C-alpha cells in the first residue's frame, strides 16, 4: 500500500462501494498456495491452511490447497499433507518444468488454475518465493493484493478483511478488495499459528496441466547452491530464542547472546539497528521487517522494544526483557523484566543455565 | 580539486550561514554553501524564537510562507527557587499586530524553508558535505575549502565561516582559539507534544498567540545557567543549560537538571500529560563581547555562533547570527563591487559595519555580565532567588503578623545572607555591568 | 545501455510517532529519505553503468516534495531524474502504482532510449509489500529477477544477464534475457558517496516533471485511488497489552539464579525440554 486513504475524493470512489461485478460473483472458496521447493513444503503453507480453514468455515465454503511443483513423490506427498491440514480439495499442477521455481512458469500455473476454478480468496506465504509470485499473479489478474498481513477475517458480507501494519508499524490498517476477485493476501511465516495436523486419507484432487514447454520459459536456472548447514538459521521456528539489541553497546558483546543461545540450544537473533550497523547478518533480524518468531521462551537483551520489534515477538509464550532503561517500551509487553545491564547478566545467565541444565558436563559444550 | 570557482563559499547552513548565502546570492555573487547535516537545520537546536525585524531585512515578506508557530504576545521572567517562582510578566495586545515582532519556530522546519529561499536566490546548496579544512596558499591566505567528497577541494575568493560554536575549521587553521569551557553553555531541550487546546488553555492564549518563559534560579543548582519554556502550536519546547565549566566543576548533568526543571511545581502542570517528541543538546556561546575572536582575515570572515555573537542576557542569538551573516555578505559585496581583492584589510569593512550595528553595540553593553554572572553565580542563581522567594511569600501570606514586622524580617534576611556591603556591591556591580 | 531505477521517497519511519490523543500519524517534522532498499538497487545500477557505459535514469512517483529524493539520487551519480507527480496518483495501491510507473517507463523509453534493465528496491519501509517490482515487470512484459544478491555476467550484445537469486535455503543462479526487472536484496552493496562534481551537477539539474498526461497515461481511472482494487477502511493503533512486565526484584540474591527460577516457575515444562536438549550435545 502506498498510503491509507483519508479524504473523500469526488465521483470515483468506486472501490469503496461494494459493487462486485457480475462475473466475480461466481468466485467461491478459499485457496492456499502450498509452497514447496526441492521436495520441502514451507511450513508457512500449513500455517495458512489453519487461517484459511477459519475463513472458509465462516464463509461456509471449501478450503482448497494449490500445489505446484514437479511430477513425482514430493508433489504427491504435499497434496496428501494438505488434506491433513484441513483441505477439502487440492489442485495440483505437476510438471517437471516446475522443478525449480521460476517466475514465468509458476505465475502461469497459478493464474491458469485461478482463472479456471475461480476462488474468492487466495492466500500465499510472504517468503522470497511467495512475494515474487504473488506480485506477478495479482498484476496478471489485475486484482488486489494485501501483503504481510497480521490478521485475516471475514466481514458479515463475506469480504476479506486483511489487517497489516502501516507507517513503519506505528499503526495498523484493515484493507479490503471489494470489487475484484480473487482477494489476495500474503502472510509472513509464524504470524499465523500452526494448526494441528490430523491424519486423514487424501481426498479429491484436481489436476491441471501447465501448458508450457521449456522453450516458452526464458529464464533458465543454471545452478542451485544450498546454504551451508551451519549457516542456516531456524530462527522463525525455534522454541527458544535469545536476541540482543543496541543496549549491548558494541558488536563484540553480541558474542554473549550467542553463548547463552548455545547453552540453551536456542537460536539467536537481533533487533534491526544491529543489522543496519552491520554487527549481525540480516537473516538474524527479528521484527516487522525481519523474522516473526513464536518461541516458548524469548530473551531480549538490551532491546528497547519499539513497535517494529514487538510485532515480531508478540506471539512468544514467555518474553523476558533485560534492559537498563526502566522506561523502555519492551517492558510494556514483556512478561518478565529485569532492570540491569545485559552485558553483566548474560554471562551470569549462561553459566547459571549451564550449571542447571547439564550439571555433570563441564567441558565439551560448544560456546 | 574541481575546476569551477565560486565568488564565495559559505560553510554552514544555520541562521548565519543562510543569511550570508542568501544575501550574497541576492547581490548576484556566485555562492556555494556547504552543510554537513542531511539538510539545513538538521544540526541546529534552538528554543526557538524568531526575531522578525532581523528576518525582514533579508526576506521582507517572510510571513507569507515561512513556517511560524506562534507570535509572542507575552514574556515571562521567572526567578525560581525549589518550590516557587517570582515572575515578572509582560503581556500586551499590542503584539497582536499585523506584522508581529517575535515568533516561536521549530528550527528543523524553519531552516528548511530558509534554505529553500537561499536556493531560490541562486546559491548552490550542498548538504551531507562536510568541510574538512580550509585550503590555504603558501602565505596562509584562505583560498577555498576541502570537503569529504571525492575530488572535493573548491576554491573561492572568500570563505564565510558560519560553522557554529564548536566549528573546527577556524580553530584548526589557527584563525581563532577553541571556545573555553566558561565561554560556552551546554543546553538540553525537549519538545513536549500537547493538543492545541491544552496549550492554549494552560498558557492563556487564543489562536496563534504565544508566550515564552525565561527562568533562572535554583534550577541551575548554583551554576550559571537559565531555563526556558516556549509555547509552539502543538508542542511546548523546554530546556535548560549551564556553562560547561560549571558542569565540569560540579559533576551535574544537563539531563539531570532538565528532569528537575520539569518536575518543579511551577513547570510540571504546564507539561502534564505531554508526550516527549524530541530530545536534543547543543552548545551555546556565552562569553559575550570579551570572547569574540578575530572576525576576518585574508580571504575569510566568521559569523554567527562561531564568532561568539550571542547575547546571553537577552537570549538573543539567532538574530545576531542572521544579522552578522547579512552584514558580512554586504561587506563582501562591497569589496567585490570595487573589484578589490578579499584581503584582511578590505574585509575589515565587515567588522566596521558590525561595530556600527546593534550586534556589537549590545554585546559591548553587556560585556561584563557573563563574568559577573559566573563569579557571582551562587548569589545570583541560589541566594537571591531563595531570598526573593521567601520575601514574596512573606509578603503574600496573610498570617496576622503586622506588615511592618514582615518587612523587617525580610530585610534582615537579606542582610544576613549578603551583608549590607554585599547587597550594595551586588546592586552596584549589576548596574554597572548592565550599563 | 540505459538503466531505469525506481525509487520512493518515504518518511523516516523510525521517527514516526502517533498522536497521543487523536491517534493519527504525526508526520510533522519527520524527515523524508530515499527508501533504504532502493539505494542498493541504485548502486547496482551505477556499477553496471560504470562498467558498460550508458545512463542511469531515476524515476519516482510522488508528491512535488519527492524532488528532494531525486536530487539526492542525482548526487549519488545518476544521470537523469524523472518525477511523476499528479493529484490523480494520490491514494494509489500497488496495482495503481505499477500502472503509472509502467506507463512512465514506457515514456522514458520513447524519450531517452529503451531501458535494458529496470531496477527496483526489494520493498519499501513504509509499504513493505515488495509488490511494485513484480507488478512493473508484469505490466511491461519483462522478465523478473527478485531478491538478487549479486549480478553476474551481462552480455549486452547477446541480450542475456545472469544473477544470483536468494531463495529459501540457498542461492539460485539464473540466466534470463534483457530487458528485465531486477530487485536487489539489501546489504548487497554500499551506495557510494557522490563526488563533488556529481553533487554540483545534481544541485543544478532540472528534474523532469511529468503529470499523468505528460507520462502518457491513457486511462486515468487506472491511477490513484480509482485504480486501486484494495481500499483501506480502518486505521488504528495497535492495542496496548493489558499487563506490563513483572519486574524482578532480586532481593540480594544473584540475579541470574532468580531469573532462571522465575522462568521455570512460569514455564515448568521448559526445564525438562532444555535439559533434554542439553543432553543431546
- pLDDT over 90 percentage in chain B: 75
Contact yes or no for A222 and C173 at CB 8 A: yes
d(CA C234, CA B213): 41
- Stated length of chain B: 435
What pLDDT is attached to residue C91?
84
pLDDT digits (tens, 9 = 90+) for B392-413: 999 899 999 998 998 999 999 9
**Residue B420's pLDDT is what?**
87
Partner residue facing C203 (CB), from B125, B154, B277: B125
Question: What φ, ψ does residue A351 adopt, rounded to 5°?
Answer: -65, -45
How much is the pLDDT for C251? 78
pLDDT tens track for B177-215: 999 998 999 999 999 989 999 999 999 999 999 999 999
pTM of the model: 0.83
**Touching partners of B (3+ C-beta pairs < 8 Å):** C
Mean pLDDT for all residues in chain B: 93
Would you say A346 and A301 are in contact if contact means Cβ atoms under 8 Å apart? yes
What mean pLDDT is predicted for residues B354-371?
Answer: 93
Inter-residue contact A296 to A316 (CB < 8 Å)? yes
User: What is the gyration radius of the CA atoms in chain C, in angstroms?
Assistant: 24
Label residue A3 by pLDDT band (50, 70, 90). very low
pLDDT tens, residue by residue, B60-109 = 999 999 999 999 999 999 999 999 999 999 999 999 999 999 999 999 88
- Contact yes or no for A174 and C232 at CB 8 A: yes
How are beta strands B49-51 and A160-166 bridged, if at all? Answer: unpaired
Indicate the DSSP class of residue B254.
Answer: H
Task: Give DSSP secondary structure letters for B83-141.
Answer: S-EEEEEEE-GGGSSSS-SEEE--HHHHHHHHHHHHHHTT-EEE-S--EEEEEE-TTS-
Q: Of A101-115, A353-367, B27-41, give the lowest mean pLDDT range.
A: A353-367
pLDDT value at residue B194: 92
Closest alpha carbon within chain C to B105: C29
pLDDT at C24: 52
Measured in angstroms, the CA of A48 and the nearest CA of chain C are apart by: 18
Characterise C177 by phi-psi region: left (phi > 0), alpha (psi -120 to 50), beta (else): beta
Does residue B325 surpass a pLDDT of 50?
yes
A-contacting residues in C 218-277 (Cβ below 8 Å): 221, 225-226, 228-238, 240-241, 244-248, 254-257, 259-260, 262-263, 266-267, 270-271, 273-275, 277
Which of chain C's residues have a Cβ under 8 Å away from the Cβ of A321?
245
**Residue A49: closest CA among A89, A19, A18:** A89
pLDDT tier at C220 (50, 70, 90 boundaries)?
A: very high
Could you read off the pLDDT of A107-142 as tens digits, one per residue? 999 999 999 999 999 999 999 999 999 999 999 999
Exposed, middle or buried: residue A253 (CB in 10 Å: 0-12, 13-18, 19+)? Answer: middle
Is C230–A166 a contact, with Cβ atoms under 8 angstroms apart?
A: no
List pLDDT tens digits, range A298-310. Answer: 999 999 988 788 8
Dihedral angle sign, alpha carbons of residues B138, B143, B149, B151:
negative
Q: Which residues contact B239 (CB under 8 A, 6 or more apart)?
A: B47, B187, B188, B189, B190, B227, B228, B258
Residues of B in contact with C204 (CB under 8 A): 124
On the question of pLDDT at A327 being above 90, the answer is no
Cβ of C196 within 8 Å of Cβ of B42? The answer is no
Residues of C in contact with A139 (CB under 8 A): 95, 98, 131, 134-135, 138-139
Q: What is the DSSP string of B224-235?
A: SEEEEEEE-SSE
- Distance CA(C26)–CA(C19), nearest Å, equals 6
**In this predicted model, what pLDDT tens digit does every residue of A63-78 receive, in sequence order?**
999 999 999 999 999 9
What is the rounded average pLDDT for all residues in chain A? 89
- For residue range C47-74, what is the model confidence (pLDDT) as tens digits? 999 999 999 999 999 999 999 999 999 9
Task: Count, in order, helices (H) and strands (E) of chain C.
Answer: 7, 15
**Closest alpha carbon to C172 in A229, A218, A222:** A222
Q: What is the pLDDT of residues C102-155, one digit of tens each?
A: 999 999 999 999 999 999 988 777 666 778 899 999 999 999 999 999 999 999
Q: How far apart are CA A30 and CA A89, in angstroms?
A: 10
Residues 6+ apart with CB under 8 A from A354: A263, A365
> Pairing between strand B102-104 and B235-243?
unpaired
Residue A18: predicted pLDDT: 64
pLDDT at C36 over 90: no
Region A227-241 average pLDDT: 81
Taking only Cα atoms into account, the Rg of chain B, rounded to an integer number of angstroms, comes to 23
pLDDT score recorded for residue A16: 54
Residue in chain B closest to C27 (alpha carbons) equals: B277
Chain-chain contact of B195 with C204 (C-beta, under 8 angstroms):
no
Mutate to test the interface with B, among C24, C67, C196, C203 (most CBs of B within 10 A): C196
B2 with C193: Cβ contact below 8 A: no
Q: Does C130 touch chain A (CB under 8 A)?
A: yes
What pLDDT shows up at residue C281?
A: 47
User: Is the separation of the CB atoms in C146 and C133 below 8 Å?
Assistant: yes
pLDDT confidence of A13, banded at 50, 70, 90?
A: very low
Reply yes or no on whether the pLDDT at C29 is more than 90.
no
DSSP H or E stretch at residue C246: strand C246-247
Say yes or no to pLDDT of A360 above 80.
Answer: no
d(CA C133, CA C5): 11
Contact (CB, 8 A) for B170 and B306: yes
Is residue B125 a contact partner of residue B33, using CB atoms and an 8 Å limit? yes
Please give the pLDDT value at position A12: 38
Cell digits of residue A122: 487466495
Query: What chains are in contact with C, requiring at least 3 Cβ pairs below 8 Å?
Result: A, B
Least confident of A241-245, B97-101, C233-237: C233-237
Percent share of chain A, pLDDT over 70: 90
Chain C: closest CA distance from residue A89 (Å): 27
Please check whether residue C263 is in contact with residue A347, taking contact to mean a CB–CB distance below 8 angstroms.
no
Residue B402 three-state SS: coil
Reported as half-sphere exposure (CB side, CA atoms, 13 A), residue B274 has a value of: 26
Three-class SS state of C153: strand
Q: C197 touching B, CB under 8 A? A: yes
Q: Find the mean pLDDT for residues B155-159.
A: 98
Distance CA A315, CA B208 (A): 47
**Residue C125 touches chain A, beta carbons under 8 Å:** yes
Residue C13 has pLDDT above 90, yes or no: no
Cell reading at A325:
532503561
Residue B346 DSSP SS3: helix
Question: Between vectors from CA B93 to CA B87 and to CA B96, what angle results, nearest 5°?
Answer: 120
Cα separations in angstroms, C203 against B123, B127, C51, C73, C194: 10, 10, 25, 11, 12
Q: What local confidence, expressed as pLDDT, does residue B280 receive?
A: 86
CB contact under 8 A, B151 and C197: yes
pLDDT, average across residues B378-396: 90
Q: What is the 3-state secondary structure (H, E, C) of chain A?
A: CCCCCCCCCCCCCHHHCCCCCHHHCCCCCEEEEECEECCEECHHHHHHHHHHHHHHHHHCCCEEEEEEECCCHHHHHHHHHHHHCCCCEEEEEECHHHCCCCHHHHHHHHHHHHHHHCCCEEEEECCHHHHHHHHHHHHHHCCCEECCCCEEEECCCCCEEEEEEEHHHCEEEEEEECCCCCEEEEECCCCCCCCCCCCCCCCEEEECCCCCCHHHCCCEEEEEEECCHHHCCCHHHCCEEEEECHHHCCHHHHHHHHHHHHHHCCEEEECHHHHHCCCCCHHHEECCCCECCCCCEEEEECCCCCHHHHHHHCCCCEEEEEECCCCCHHHHCCCEEEECCHHHHHHHHHHHHHHHHCCCCCCCCCC
How near does any CA of chain B get to the CA of C172, in Å? 37
pLDDT at B38 (0 to 100): 86
∠ CA B54-B175-B341, nearest 5°, is 75
Q: With a CB-CB cutoff of 8 Å, which residues 51-110 of chain B face chain C?
A: 106, 108-109
Percent of chain C with pLDDT over 70: 90
Closest CA to A51 of A74, A33, A26, A77: A33
Shortest distance, CA C199 to any CA of chain B (angstroms): 7
Judge whether residue A2 has pLDDT over 50.
no
The cell for B143 is 583560498
pLDDT at B259: 92
Beta bridge partners, A276, equal none
C3 forms beta bridges with C56, C117
Which of C14, C167, C173, C227 to mutate to probe the A interface, most A CBs <10 Å? C167
Helix (H) or strand (E) holding C148: strand C143-155
Residue A6 confidence class, pLDDT cut points 50, 70, 90: very low
pLDDT of residue C181: 96
What is the ipTM score, two decimals?
Answer: 0.85
Spatial separation of the C-alpha atoms in residues B287 and B267, rounded to whole Å:
28
Confidence of residue C241 (pLDDT cuts 50, 70, 90): low
- CA dist A274 and A280 (Å) reads 6
Amino acid at each position: 500500500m502506498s498510503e491509507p486513504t483519508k479524504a473523500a475524493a469526488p465521483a470515483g470512489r468506486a472501490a469503496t462501494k461494494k459493487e462486485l461485478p457480475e462475473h466475480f460473483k461466481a468466485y467461491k472458496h478459499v485457496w492456499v498456495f502450498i509452497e514447496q521447493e526441492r521436495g520441502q513444503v514451507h511450513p508457512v503453507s500449513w500455517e495458512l491452511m489453519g487461517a484459511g480453514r477459519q475463513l472458509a468455515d465462516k464463509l461456509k465454503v471449501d478450503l482448497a490447497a494449490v500445489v505446484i511443483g514437479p511430477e513425482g513423490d514430493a508433489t504427491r506427498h504435499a497434496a496428501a499433507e494438505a488434506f491433513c491440514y484441513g483441505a477439502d480439495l487440492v489442485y495440483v499442477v505437476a510438471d517437471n518444468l516446475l522443478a525449480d521455481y521460476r517466475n514465468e512458469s509458476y505465475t502461469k500455473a497459478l493464474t491458469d488454475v485461478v482463472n479456471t476454478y475461480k476462488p474468492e480468496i487466495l492466500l500465499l506465504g510472504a517468503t522470497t518465493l511467495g512475494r515474487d509470485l504473488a506480485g506477478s499473479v495479482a498484476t496478471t489478474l489485475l486484482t488486489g493484493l494485501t501483503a504481510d498481513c497480521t490478521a485475516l477475517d471475514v466481514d458479515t458480507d463475506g469480504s476479506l478483511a486483511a489487517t497489516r501494519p502501516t507507517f513503519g508499524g506505528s499503526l495498523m490498517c484493515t484493507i479490503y478488495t471489494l470489487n475484484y476477485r480473487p482477494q489476495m493476501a500474503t502472510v509472513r511465516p509464524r504470524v499465523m499459528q500452526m494448526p494441528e495436523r490430523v491424519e486423514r486419507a487424501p481426498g479429491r484432487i484436481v489436476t491441471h496441466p501447465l501448458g508450457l514447454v521449456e522453450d516458452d520459459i526464458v529464464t533458465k536456472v543454471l545452478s542451485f547452491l544450498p546454504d551451508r548447514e551451519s549457516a542456516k538459521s531456524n530462527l522463525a521456528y525455534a522454541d527458544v530464542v535469545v536476541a540482543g539489541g543496541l543496549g549491548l553497546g558494541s558488536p563484540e558483546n553480541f558474542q554473549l547472546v550467542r553463548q547463552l543461545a548455545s547453552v540453551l540450544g536456542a537460536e539467536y537473533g537481533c533487533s534491526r539497528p544491529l543489522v543496519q550497523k552491520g554487527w549481525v547478518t540480516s537473516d538474524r533480524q527479528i521484527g516487522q521487517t525481519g523474522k516473526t518468531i513464536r518461541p516458548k521462551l524469548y530473551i531480549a537483551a538490551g532491546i528497547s522494544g519499539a513497535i517494529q520489534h514487538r510485532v515480531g515477538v508478540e506471539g512468544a509464550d514467555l518474553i523476558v526483557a533485560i534492559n537498563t532503561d526502566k522506561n523502555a517500551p519492551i517492558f510494556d509487553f514483556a512478561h518478565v523484566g529485569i532492570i540491569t545491564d545485559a552485558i553483566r547478566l548474560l554471562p551470569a545467565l549462561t553459566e547459571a543455565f549451564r550449571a542447571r541444565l547439564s550439571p555433570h558436563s563441564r567441558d565439551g559444550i560448544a560456546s | 580539486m574541481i575546476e569551477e570557482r565560486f565568488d564565495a563559499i559559505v560553510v554552514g547552513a544555520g541562521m548565519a550561514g543562510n543569511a550570508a548565502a542568501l544575501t550574497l546570492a541576492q547581490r548576484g555573487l556566485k555562492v556555494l554553501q556547504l552543510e554537513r547535516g542531511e539538510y539545513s537545520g538538521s544540526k541546529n537546536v534552538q528554543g526557538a524564537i524568531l526575531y522578525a525585524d532581523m528576518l525582514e531585512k533579508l526576506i521582507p515578506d517572510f510571513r507569507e510562507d515561512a513556517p511560524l508557530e506562534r507570535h509572542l504576545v507575552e514574556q515571562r521572567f521567572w526567578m525560581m527557587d525549589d518550590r516557587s517562582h517570582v515572575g515578572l510578566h509582560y503581556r500586551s495586545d499590542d503584539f497582536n499586530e499585523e506584522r508581529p515582532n517575535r515568533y516561536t519556530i521549530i528550527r528543523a522546519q524553519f531552516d528548511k524553508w530558509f534554505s529553500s529561499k537561499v536556493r531560490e536566490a541562486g546559491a548552490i546548496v550542498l548538504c551531507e558535505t562536510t568541510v574538512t579544512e580550509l585550503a590555504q596558499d603558501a602565505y596562509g591566505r584562505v583560498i577555498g575549502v576541502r570537503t569529504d567528497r571525492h575530488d572535493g577541494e573548491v576554491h573561492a575568493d572568500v570563505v564565510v565561516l558560519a560553522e557554529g560554536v564548536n566549528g573546527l575549521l577556524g580553530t584548526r587553521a589557527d584563525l581563532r582559539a577553541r571556545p573555553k569551557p566558561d565561554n560556552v553553555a551546554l543546553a538540553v531541550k525537549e519538545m513536549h507534544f500537547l493538543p492545541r487546546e491544552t496549550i492554549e488553555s494552560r498558557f492563556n492564549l487564543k489562536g496563534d498567540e504565544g508566550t515564552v518563559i525565561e527562568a533562572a534560579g535554583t534550577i541551575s543548582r548554583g551554576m550559571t545557567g537559565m531555563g526556558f519554556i516556549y509555547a509552539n502550536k502543538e508542542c511546548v519546547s523546554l530546556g535548560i543549560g549551564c556553562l560547561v565549566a560549571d558542569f565540569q566543576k560540579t559533576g551535574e548533568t544537563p539531563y539531570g537538571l532538565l528532569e528537575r526543571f520539569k518536575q518543579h511545581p511551577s513547570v510540571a502542570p504546564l507539561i502534564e500529560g505531554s508526550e516527549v517528541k524530541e530530545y536534543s543538546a547543543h552548545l551555546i556561546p556565552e562569553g559575550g563581547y570579551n570572547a569574540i575572536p578575530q572576525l576576518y582575515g585574508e580571504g575569510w570572515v566568521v559569523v554567527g555562533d562561531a564568532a561568539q555573537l550571542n547575547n546571553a542576557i537577552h537570549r538573543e542569538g539567532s538574530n545576531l547570527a542572521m544579522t552578522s551573516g547579512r552584514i558580512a555578505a554586504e561587506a563582501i559585496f562591497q569589496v567585490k563591487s570595487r573589484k578589490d581583492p578579499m584581503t584582511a584589510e578590505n574585509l575589515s569593512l565587515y567588522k566596521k559595519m558590525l561595530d556600527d550595528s546593534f550586534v556589537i553595540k549590545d554585546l559591548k553593553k553587556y560585556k561584563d555580565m557573563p563574568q559577573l554572572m559566573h563569579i557571582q553565580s551562587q548569589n545570583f542563581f541560589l541566594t537571591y532567588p531563595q531570598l526573593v522567594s521567601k520575601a514574596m511569600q512573606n509578603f503574600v501570606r496573610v498570617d496576622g503578623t503586622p506588615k511592618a514586622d514582615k518587612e523587617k524580617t525580610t530585610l534582615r534576611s537579606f542582610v544576613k545572607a549578603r551583608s549590607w556591603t554585599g547587597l550594595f556591591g551586588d546592586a552596584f556591580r549589576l548596574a554597572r555591568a548592565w550599563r | 545501455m540505459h538503466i531505469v531505477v525506481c525509487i520512493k521517497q518515504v518518511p523516516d519511519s523510525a521517527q514516526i510517532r502517533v498522536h497521543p490523543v487523536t491517534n493519527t500519524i504525526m508526520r510533522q517534522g519527520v524527515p523524508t529519505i530515499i527508501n533504504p532498499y532502493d539505494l542498493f538497487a541504485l548502486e547496482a545500477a551505477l556499477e553496471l553503468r560504470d562498467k558498460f557505459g550508458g545512463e542511469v535514469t531515476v524515476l519516482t512517483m510522488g508528491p512535488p516534495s519527492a524532488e528532494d529524493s531525486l536530487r539526492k539520487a542525482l548526487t549519488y551519480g545518476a544521470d537523469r531524474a524523472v518525477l511523476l507527480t499528479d493529484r490523480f496518483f494520490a491514494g494509489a495501491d500497488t496495482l495503481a502504482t505499477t500502472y503509472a510507473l509502467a506507463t512512465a517507463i514506457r515514456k522514458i523509453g520513447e524519450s531517452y532510449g529503451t531501458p535494458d534493465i529496470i531496477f527496483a528496491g526489494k520493498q519499501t519501509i513504509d509499504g513493505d509489500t515488495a509488490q511494485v517490482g513484480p507488478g512493473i515487470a508484469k505490466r511491461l512484459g519483462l522478465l523478473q529477477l527478485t531478491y538478487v544478491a549479486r549480478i553476474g555476467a551481462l552480455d549486452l550484445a547477446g541480450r542475456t544477464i545472469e544473477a544470483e537469486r536468494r531463495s529459501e535455503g540457498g542461492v539460485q543462479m539464473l540466466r534470463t534475457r534483457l530487458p528485465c526487472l531486477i530487485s536487489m536484496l539489501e546489504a548487497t552493496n554500499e551506495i557510494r558517496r557522490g563526488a563533488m562534481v556529481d553533487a554540483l551537477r545534481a544541485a543544478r539539474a532540472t528534474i523532469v516533471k511529468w503529470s499523468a498526461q505528460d507520462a502518457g497515461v491513457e486511462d486515468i481511472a487506472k491511477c490513484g485511488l480509482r485504480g486501486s482494487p484494495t481500499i483501506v477502511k480502518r486505521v488504528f493503533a495497535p492495542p496496548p497489552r493489558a499487563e506490563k512486565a513483572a519486574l524482578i526484584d532480586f532481593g540480594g540474591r544473584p540475579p541470574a539464579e532468580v531469573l532462571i527460577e522465575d522462568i521455570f516457575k512460569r514455564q515448568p515444562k521448559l526445564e525438562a525440554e532444555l535439559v533434554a536438549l542439553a543432553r543431546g550435545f
